[in-house]
Structure 1
Amino acid sequence: MARTPKTAELQDREKSKRVGALAALWPFLRPYRPLLAAAVLALALTASVALVLPLAVRRVVDNFGIEDGAILDQYFAAALLIAALLAVGTGLRYMLVTRLGERVVADIRKAVFDRVIAMSPAFFERLMTGEVLSRITTDTTLILSVISSSVSIALRNLLIFLGGMGLMLFTSPKLTGMVLLIVPLVIVPILTLGRKMRVLSRENQDWIANSSGNASEALSSVQTVQAFTHEAESRARFAYVTERSHDAARRRINTRALMTVIVIFLVFTGVVGVLWMGARDVRAGGMTAGSLVQFVIYSVMVAGAVAALSEIWGELQRAAGATERLVELLQADDPVTDPSDPKPVPRPVKGAIAFEGVRFSYPSRPGILALDDLNLAIKAGETVALVGPSGAGKTSVIQMIQRFYDPDEGRVTLDGVALSDMARHDFRRDLALVPQDPVIFAASARDNIRFGRLDASDAEVEEAARAAAAYDFITALPEGFNTYVGERGVMLSGGQKQRIAIARAILRDAPVLLLDEATSSLDAESERAVQHAVDAMARTRTTIIVAHRLATVKKADRIVVMDQGRIVAQGTHDSLVAENGLYARLARLQFTDGEAA
């Protein structure tokens, strides 16, 4: 379940006491230290050159009345050289910092995706997919803006502020002392309002993510939304979260505007007061006109730097919030993890699977047992069908075999080795799945089948399609196997998607075949053809079939009847019907006048 912005705000009140959430970006910056150093050098060059310019102006003003024009020419030539250095340094700084920002953000996006794609389904029970996408896109874009612009400008203005203050002190200690009295008045609103801005920025980003997740969910199910005329409610829900995001953004903007007004007013009021005193000193002969002009320029530069820092502070606060959200994904705990020293998968894999005293509840439903003290041993090469009413735990068995979840108690083994002792990536290579809701990717029909085994040849892909009774309809598509089937396979019927998913599993040629309602979307003719393919595969591998349609499980070596997470009966079709228990009742519901009995 996604975190609410209110929860995030409460957490931020604690986090805002920490120093520099942006420090979490350092691991991504570290590999590019030469580029970072070059950018900092270019930045220091531009700041230094900018600070030298007022010294030349002072010389020009103080020597304006001299008769020798050659010295003035030298000063103006020096000013042009300084301007040229400033231009080159600024362009170099922009190029280096922007390249650094793009490189770092690309690395962050890849790191977050690499982390999230390996998370178990339990993780996605707590967080909407749309929110994860928002963090990968919106938050990283914000960080890009900060690295390639805000941080650079902030460091430049910080150097100008420190250098300008030092040169102001050198020019007139008396006037500089007056300026320093103003600094605390400026710092207080920056720190106070800046902390509030960070909370508001995080709230704003959370609502944006909520909005993205809401839109993703609605658009991915647009046909269902329209079929149930739910457009108005979907619009209203999206409008609500979007408006909440806007409200948080409006409060953040108002706070930033207030901070800018206060800081700029205090800075320039102080500057005017200091200049008034300086003008009096010039009249009294205490300093030259050139020194006053130099001090004025440094004062304006320092004031501008402080004003820029006050604005950039808000951007840095937003980036800190975005960084925290991305770090949360990178450091998220996954309840299903590989052991530090995994055992090797027994080779060759025979396919013997055992559930030993397994008790399991889904994280989102901790009080409801999906599997209750399940003990089940499946022999290598055996075909076992799992039947029972909805919610009996059949699909949970399939998910446990793939180790999408870990048991709360007990263990699941493959060829005698506990799944939790092996690396998931290793033993999953020996599993082939046909899910109840087939997943079709936005690619060609060929690529969708080849997803089962990426190194398969075109001939192998086509042979798998034949075995799954998919060859004929695929070749009838406009471009045959190279036809783009659309996002989530929108160009295909339900039965066609199912056959592509079955072809994918056939191509994988794994020792363990998992069929979760694999033929539920097929017409009678296609089901018969696919059933022949499944029967042929089942002869040479361990096959576990989940089905509501009992006609598809009659040929199984063993039928396991489940109810409320427990095994209530097992045996062949005929023996279970003779027992006149739950299986017989299910059979009578599916066959007219109890003919199955």
Structure 2
Amino acid sequence: MARGTTIISDRPSSRRVGALGALWPFLRPYRVQVVLALFALAATSAISLVLPLAVRRVVDNFDDGAGLLDEYFGAALIIVALLALGTAARYYFVTRLGERVVADIRKAVFARVITLSPAFFERVMTGEILSRITTDTTLIQSVIGSSLSIALRNMIILAGGMAMLAFTSLKLMGLVLLIIPVILVPIIVLGRRLRGLSRKAQDWIAASSGAASETLLAAQTVQAYTHEGRSIARFDDVTERSFDVALTRIRTRALMTAIVIFLIFAGVIGVLWVGARDVQAGAMTAGQLVQFVIYAILVAGSTGALSEIWGELQRAAGATERLGELLAAEDALTDPPRPVPLPRPVRGRITLEEVGFHYPTRPDVSALEGVSLSIQPGETVALVGPSGAGKTTVIQLIQRFWDPQSGRVTLDGIDLRDMARADFRQAIALVPQDPVIFATTALENIRLGRPDASPAEVQAAARAAHAHDFISTLPQGYDTPLGERGVMLSGGQRQRIAIARAILRDAPVLLLDEATSALDAESESLVQAAVNRLSEGRTTVVVAHRLATVKKADRIVVFDGGRIVAQGTHDALVAEGGLYARLARMQFMDMPTLPDPA
């Protein structure tokens, strides 16, 4: 929750509806549709402004005979038909444009976020990102597909109506001009407050989504620790805060609407009173007054609609800013303008040179300090040590999920920062400690390792990982959806899917981060045999707490406190004593051991 609230409090507030201008890059590819929509919009607005003229003709010539009257009503019917066709065209083009633009925005935001490094996700909750992609884009769709066109139409009618009011009666028009500033003041003043409240409300909605997403993804843990009550209370608190802000926004908008509508229609009544006196005095005809009344109603309605839409535009401007923040998010990691290509075939020589690193959220704690390590092509190196010693950090640096603050990491002699991440990551296969299973079929989950692999190749990889047998027993075999995060599988089965994925990738560099930690003894033995075959001829880096899985490694590197404290073979390190020997005694002899005096 802290991460979500930090984002909210640190975000600068903006009061500019002009923020909607950031949508232009997404509108630009559809300029033809924009022109067609604007043409239909202008046409319907113009037709609406013509109707009062026809009404005036009818009123002033009511006694001139049935034939002329029929012509006027026939012309009015044609105008109404054109208005219906133009409105339908406007709706089609504008709504289609809104859907298309929002689809492009969603794709652009997702494409941007999915490429960001882990540092970004330490600051922003996943639920907040999802809220922006769904809720915020829905607001924008509503504005582009409806509110914006309605606003433009009402602006045209307002401007045209004012001109026609002046054409009909300059005296009455002068009175209208006196009213407009009085109406605009509450729209501007309260509109600014609405802008800030709309932005704040969207932020709290995002925070609510973030809290819900985080808790639901850990539902079993929450239930296991009987934490449901606190989780519900936490979500209720965030949701109530969101409601309170929304309620303040609703009250402000209701107040603005009441004031504006009263001022508009009170002014119209006053102007009509003066006009009625002029008709009685013979200063203007009844048709002119009716025409003026209709134009006044159009102008008043347009002004009221604009005051309503103003709040929607401000909410959409806030949503646009929030999405713009994601699109413009600066990544801690970037590829060089001219990346150095990784030479093929990849040999797999990995080197860490005096690497120092600390995580951004823990700047005072060194995860790695002065680490130098050279891993030769085809060598299997095991990283062991207590939790938090820096083993997994090395794995992450080799994939360039982070950049070291000092020193460098190279692959085949090339600094990772000089290459495109997508280029050198193709040469790496990873089996993480907590395997990720997607809510798709077993076939597609394994095929993540190589998307163009045939079903036969996928099955071969599954057999090598000893996953084929349990996959075959699933209801639809390899075509069985595994559920969100692989809920249909046990921990060991998820691990074997991940290992099959790495086997299918057939990469020259293999990274195993506690790859057998979730397996029972029998499965571990089978999978370890598969891993041993897989690692032949490849550079393999193994992170393990269970030393039995690394006894046959070419070299074991012992980490403690972010430093390398020893390295060598299993037998040499046991004979040497120290941390590794103590860990080995604890695991292999199953007996308590006092810590070293050092």
Fold shared per TM-score above 0.5: yes
- The answer to whether structure 1 residue 153 and structure 2 residue 144 are counterparts is no
Aligned residue number for residue 94 of structure 2: 97
Q: Distance in 1 between matches of 2:379 and 2:564?
A: 18
- Please give the residue correspondences for 1:307-456 in structure 2 after superposition, counting only pairs within 5 Å: 307-456=304-453
| TM-fit CA distance, 1:534 | 1.1
Aligned residue number for residue 469 of structure 1: 466
1:79 partner letter: A
Aligned partner (choices 62, 65, 88) of residue 64 of structure 1: 62
Aligned partner (choices 259, 266, 269) of residue 256 of structure 2: 259
Counterpart contact for 1:5–1:203, Cα < 8 Å: no
Aligned residue number for residue 297 of structure 1: 294
Q: Distance in 1 between matches of 2:550 and 2:500?
A: 20
- Please give the residue correspondences for 1:85-164 in structure 2 after superposition, counting only pairs within 5 Å: 85-164=82-161
Q: What SS does the corresponding residue of 1:20 show, helix, strand or coil?
A: helix
C-alpha distance 7-337 of structure 1, shift in aligned 2 (>3 A): closer
Aligned residue number for residue 271 of structure 1: 268
Aligned residue number for residue 34 of structure 1: 32
Aligned residue number for residue 196 of structure 2: 199
Counterpart contact for 1:352–1:542, Cα < 8 Å: yes
Q: What SS does the corresponding residue of 1:337 show, helix, strand or coil?
A: coil
Q: Distance in 2 between matches of 1:117 and 1:411?
A: 25
- The answer to whether structure 1 residue 458 and structure 2 residue 455 are counterparts is yes
Q: Distance in 1 between matches of 2:140 and 2:290?
A: 39
Aligned residue number for residue 25 of structure 1: 23
Aligned residue number for residue 596 of structure 2: none
Q: What SS does the corresponding residue of 1:522 show, helix, strand or coil?
A: coil
* Percent of residue pairs identical: 70
| TM-fit CA distance, 1:191 | 1.0
Bigger drift between 44-53 and 438-447 goes to 438-447
> Where do 5+ consecutive residues of structure 1 fail to align?
none
1:32 partner letter: Y
Q: Distance in 2 between matches of 1:3 and 1:65?
A: 75
Counterpart contact for 1:43–1:90, Cα < 8 Å: yes
Bigger drift between 161-170 and 74-83 goes to 74-83
Counterpart contact for 1:356–1:374, Cα < 8 Å: yes
Aligned residue number for residue 239 of structure 2: 242
| TM-fit CA distance, 1:8 | 4.0
Structure 1 vs Structure 2 CA RMSD: 1.5
C-alpha distance 133-10 of structure 1, shift in aligned 2 (>3 A): closer
Q: Distance in 1 between matches of 2:17 and 2:136?
A: 20
1:352 partner letter: R
| TM-fit CA distance, 1:570 | 0.5
Deviations 1:361-410 (A, max 9, x none): 11111111111111111111110000000000000000000100111111
- Please give the residue correspondences for 1:529-568 in structure 2 after superposition, counting only pairs within 5 Å: 529-568=526-565
| TM-fit CA distance, 1:212 | 0.7
1:157 partner letter: N
Q: What SS does the corresponding residue of 1:354 show, helix, strand or coil?
A: strand
Q: Distance in 1 between matches of 2:264 and 2:517?
A: 73
Q: Distance in 2 between matches of 1:185 and 1:236?
A: 46
Counterpart contact for 1:12–1:199, Cα < 8 Å: no
Q: Distance in 1 between matches of 2:20 and 2:68?
A: 49
2:289 partner letter: L
- The answer to whether structure 1 residue 488 and structure 2 residue 485 are counterparts is yes
Q: Distance in 2 between matches of 1:60 and 1:80?
A: 13
Counterpart contact for 1:441–1:488, Cα < 8 Å: yes
Counterpart contact for 2:257–2:307, Cα < 8 Å: yes
C-alpha distance 488-239 of structure 1, shift in aligned 2 (>3 A): same
Counterpart contact for 1:359–1:408, Cα < 8 Å: yes
Q: What SS does the corresponding residue of 2:122 show, helix, strand or coil?
A: helix
Aligned partner (choices 49, 52, 56) of residue 51 of structure 1: 49
Instruction: Give the TM-score normalised by structure 2.
Output: 0.97
Deviations 1:69-119 (A, max 9, x none): 211111111111111111111111111100000000000000000000111
Instruction: Give the TM-score normalised by structure 1.
Output: 0.97
Counterpart contact for 1:2–1:128, Cα < 8 Å: no
Q: Distance in 1 between matches of 2:184 and 2:73?
A: 38
| TM-fit CA distance, 1:564 | 1.1
| TM-fit CA distance, 1:166 | 0.3
C-alpha distance 178-2 of structure 1, shift in aligned 2 (>3 A): farther
C-alpha distance 261-5 of structure 1, shift in aligned 2 (>3 A): farther
| TM-fit CA distance, 1:65 | 2.1
Q: Distance in 1 between matches of 2:549 and 2:383?
A: 11
Q: What SS does the corresponding residue of 1:375 show, helix, strand or coil?
A: strand
Aligned residue number for residue 218 of structure 2: 221
Q: Distance in 2 between matches of 1:211 and 1:130?
A: 8
Deviations 1:468-503 (A, max 9, x none): 111111112222222221111111110011011001
| TM-fit CA distance, 1:459 | 1.3
Deviations 1:277-305 (A, max 9, x none): 11111111111111111001100100000
Q: What SS does the corresponding residue of 1:126 show, helix, strand or coil?
A: coil
Q: Distance in 1 between matches of 2:395 and 2:313?
A: 47
C-alpha distance 296-6 of structure 1, shift in aligned 2 (>3 A): farther
Counterpart contact for 1:55–1:294, Cα < 8 Å: yes
Q: How many residue pairs are counted as aligned between the two chains? A: 593
Q: Distance in 1 between matches of 2:248 and 2:408?
A: 52
Counterpart contact for 2:4–2:128, Cα < 8 Å: no
2:215 partner letter: A
Deviations 1:143-180 (A, max 9, x none): 10111110011001000000000000011111101100
Counterpart contact for 1:9–1:199, Cα < 8 Å: no
Q: What SS does the corresponding residue of 2:150 show, helix, strand or coil?
A: helix
| TM-fit CA distance, 1:11 | 4.4
C-alpha distance 362-41 of structure 1, shift in aligned 2 (>3 A): same
Q: Distance in 1 between matches of 2:592 and 2:212?
A: 49
Q: Distance in 2 between matches of 1:479 and 1:37?
A: 51
2:256 partner letter: M
Q: Distance in 2 between matches of 1:209 and 1:129?
A: 10
C-alpha distance 379-59 of structure 1, shift in aligned 2 (>3 A): same
C-alpha distance 413-92 of structure 1, shift in aligned 2 (>3 A): same
